[in-house]
Amino acid sequence: MPACRHCGSTYPREFFIHGIGPKAQVCVQCGVDHGLVTKEEVPVLFEKDMASARFSAVARRYSIFLYLPFLWMLWGATLSDVEPWGLFFLGLLLLLTLAAPVIFIYRGGRYSGDMARLSPAYDRPKGH
């Protein structure tokens, strides 16, 4: 993937300005920030609200894999010695750990739909 000349970030080809000279190898965000193009010329530019909605969709998708290690550490540090609740919480953790990949796969279609809905319509220009 190419890198932007101004910010150094790497993006897929459709997130770059199409052109030569000062517009070559410049991402759309840097192009708008440096005045090379206007917002209307780059339909693939994400506004703040759309970017936060996309980040929220990604966070919802992968949050289960962040919660599981925390819950296992919590059980190991505090609840494993508590007599009736330690075993109950262990059973719940085992069930959740086994169900996490199934839930992740099951919700994949919904995630793809959300990301498609939150992605701007964009036709790749010739030469990209």
- Using the 8-state DSSP alphabet, how is residue 23 labeled? G
In angstroms, rounded to a whole number, what is the distance separating the alpha carbons of residues 49 and 39? 15
Where does the pLDDT of residue 97 fall: very low under 50, low under 70, confident under 90, or very high at 90 and above?
very high
| Percentage of residues of the chain with pLDDT beyond 90 | 41
pTM of the model: 0.63
pLDDT per residue over 42-81, tens digit each? Answer: 877 777 788 889 899 999 999 999 999 999 999 999 988 8
In angstroms, rounded to a whole number, what is the distance separating the alpha carbons of residues 3 and 61? 27
**Residues 34 and 55 sit within 8 Å (Cβ to Cβ):** no
